[in-house]
Structure 1
Amino acid sequence: MPGRQPAVIEDLGRGELVGWSWMFKPCRWHMGAKATTPVRTHEFDALTVRMLMDADPALGFVVGHWVSQVLAHRLQATRVRLLDLYAPYGSGSVV
């Protein structure tokens, strides 16, 4: 919303995936993330991972399924959070 700080949708913890833009064309980051405590991160080469997924269908399935689960969870969390912030009666969820 204009004039407001970006909405905080979710806090992530240890071992959680921050983004999935690397998996879907045009492979550009679309969201923001901010660390509020010291963190240790792991970065990987997205092109290499996509090539490995293409070369090994079993690996591709597992990684794709994992990313899909993360994506579905984040979309639901976003929906609930935005309803809480902007809808007249919130989401009705106690999440």
Structure 2
Amino acid sequence: MLTGKQKRYLRSLAHHLDPIFQVGKGGVNEHLIRHIEEALEVRELIKVTVLNNSGEDRDEVGQQLAEGAGAELVQVIGKIIVLYKESRDHKTIELP
């Protein structure tokens, strides 16, 4: 579980990132979660965009992705979801 200070720090790091995944009409599925897990192992911090044609609630999508990938939900703002998971092999982010 992340503290408020850690979330603020991660949000500041994520500000300059571009989203690398999109959730569309298909919603959240195992294929998407597997790719997000792999990306989190390499990058630790990623952004995901929820497209307008997705009928699901953005907060629920964020929860599903975080639980499925074993990650922490840092932020859901607008259509952007920010996820963090500490990497085992490629650790680059030092939390305060």
Q: Which TM-score band (shorter chain)?
A: under 0.3
Normalized per residue, the structure richer in strand is 2
